[in-house]
Structure 1
C-alpha cells in the first residue's frame, strides 16, 4: 500500500509508506519530526521522493545521509544554524533559499522560525544510473551547500510540488522527467567528480566488456582507437585501459591483435583469399607488416599456416 490512514479526533492524517529519513545514534528516523503536508510516496516516482513540510522550527541531531537531499524554503523566513568541521554557522533563510547534502555525515542543525519547505531526496544509485557515460571513468559525488539560490532548481522543484499538489495529473513519466532534470542539474553544477574504480575488485562490468568485444569484432578491418573502446564502455581512456587488463589479462591492444590473428587463421583455413586480402580484412593493409606480425604471434608465416591446415 502507498499509505495508511491514521484517525485523530478531528482529522484523518495520511501516513506515507516512505519518509525522507536519516541515520543517527544507531537508529533510523524521519529527518523532519512530523508528517509531511504532501508526499510523492504514493506516486512511485523512480529514484527520488518529494515532501512538503509546514511547521514551527525544530532541531535535527547529528546524523548521516544515505542519499542526496535538496531542500528549499517556499516562503517566509527563518534562521538556520548548523555545525561543520570548521565550527558553527548561521544564515537567514528566505523564499527560494536551498540547502544541499550529499550521502555523508552531518553535524546537526537548528531551524528557528516558520519551516515551509520542499524536500527532494535523490537515491545515489539512481544518480549513478542517470550519469552513466556522461562523466566517463568517474563517480559523481554531491558537495554540501548550506545556503544558496539557483533559479533553475527553484523552478523545477516548484513544478514537481505543483504537480504533486494537483494529484500528478500529467502522469508518472512527466514527474520522473522533471525529477531527473533536477538530478542532472545537481550532477553538472554541484558535484565533485572523482575517479571511479568499478565494483568487483576493480573490474569492468560484464555487460560493458561484451559491448567492447562486439565493437572490436565489427571493426577488425578498421583502425581501432582506445578512445572508441573507452567510449563504448562509457569510461575514460585511462581507466578503461587500466581496468581492461585487470578484467581480461591483456591490454586492449594485445586483445585486438589476438582477435585479428584468430580471424586471419580462420580465413586461411576456410577460404581461398590471397594473403594480401586476408591482411586487409583484419586491419593490416601492409602485407609485410601482416606477415611479420602473424609469424611473431603464430610461429609460422601465413602461407605456411595455410599449407599445414589445408
Structure 2
C-alpha cells in the first residue's frame, strides 16, 4: 500500500513485527485526484485514529459513494478487484489512519475455532465507514501494544489479533463468497514484485525478471498478478511510473524531460503521450493545475 498512498507514512518503532499481522500508520491530507487501490491479497482493516474526512470510493468506472468518517470508524476489505478512493479532510488539514493486514493463517485459525468442521476459506463483507466498538477497542489495544509499549508482549499482541479476527468472522463473514486464494498472487510475492518494479522504473519492463522474482512462469505470473490487482504486469508497471511522475511533478522543480527520463521515457513526446492517456492531461498541464 505504501506505493499507492500519496500520504505521510508514520515511522514505527524499530524491531516492530508480528508473524500474523502487518501494521502501517498514515497521515492523510485532502486529495482531489483518485488513488488506485489494488486488490488485497490478505484481509485489510483500516481504522481512523485522528481527525475526520469525507471519503469517496468507486469500483473501476462506477459511481462515487461517499461516507463521513471520524475517530473509531473502520473499513474492511478483502476484495479481489482494484478500486478508486479520494478524500477531503474535515476540521483540519489531515487525519490519521491505521492499516492492519491479517494473514490467511490467522484467519484460518480463527475460522476453525468459530466454525469448527464447517470452516472453509473465509471472505469478509466489504465495510465502508462502519462503527463497531469492539473492533475499535481491540484494534486500538493492538496498536498501543505494538507501538506504545516499550516492553512489547508478542503473546498479548497475538491474543488481541486472534480476538479481533474471531469477532470479524462472527460479525462480518460473507457467507456467499467462495474465495479462491490459489488464483491470486500471494501477498509476500506481490510485495516483492512491486518493490522490484519501483526499483526499476527507469529501466525497460521485463516480464521474465518479475516472474522470476515471484518464482513463477511468465504465463502464470501474468495471470495471478492480474487476479490480484486487476491489471496486467505491463500496465501495472506503467501505473507505477505515472504515480512516480505525478509525485515528481508536484514535489520537485525537475524539468518534464528529466522526470520522463527518471521514469523510463527517453522520448519527451512518448512520455507526454503515455501520461496524458493515463492521467488525462499533459505533464505540464498537470503540474500547472495542481500548483494553482
Indicate the TM-score class for this superposition, using the shorter chain for normalisation.
Answer: 0.5 to 0.7
Cα pair distance change 1:188/1:112, threshold 3 Å: same
Cα pair distance change 1:197/1:115, threshold 3 Å: closer
Cα pair distance change 1:73/1:61, threshold 3 Å: same
Work out the CA distance in 1 between the residues paired with 2:24 and 2:8: 9
Residue 135 of structure 2, aligned match among 147, 153, 164: 153
Deviation at 1:38, TM superposition (A): 4.3
Contact 1:41 1:49 in 2 (8 A): no
Q: Secondary structure at the match of 1:71?
A: strand
Residue 40 of structure 2, aligned match among 46, 65, 71: 65
1:42-53 pair list within 5 angstroms: 42-53=15-26
Cα pair distance change 1:57/1:124, threshold 3 Å: farther
Contact 1:40 1:51 in 2 (8 A): no
Report which of the two has the higher share of helix.
Answer: 2
**Pairwise CA RMSD:** 2.9
Cα pair distance change 1:195/1:133, threshold 3 Å: farther
Contact 1:38 1:164 in 2 (8 A): no
Residue 156 of structure 2, aligned match among 174, 183, 189: 174
Work out the CA distance in 2 between the residues paired with 1:134 and 1:41: 34
Deviation at 1:122, TM superposition (A): 1.0
Cα pair distance change 1:31/1:161, threshold 3 Å: farther
Work out the CA distance in 2 between the residues paired with 1:192 and 1:98: 17
Cα pair distance change 1:133/1:62, threshold 3 Å: closer
Task: Count residues with an aligned counterpart.
Answer: 173
Report which of the two has the higher share of strand.
Answer: 1
Deviation at 1:32, TM superposition (A): 2.7
Structure 2's unaligned 5+ residue stretches are 183-292
Which structure is higher in RCO with an 8 Å CA cutoff and minimum separation 6? Answer: 2
Q: Secondary structure at the match of 2:155?
A: helix
Q: Secondary structure at the match of 2:19?
A: coil
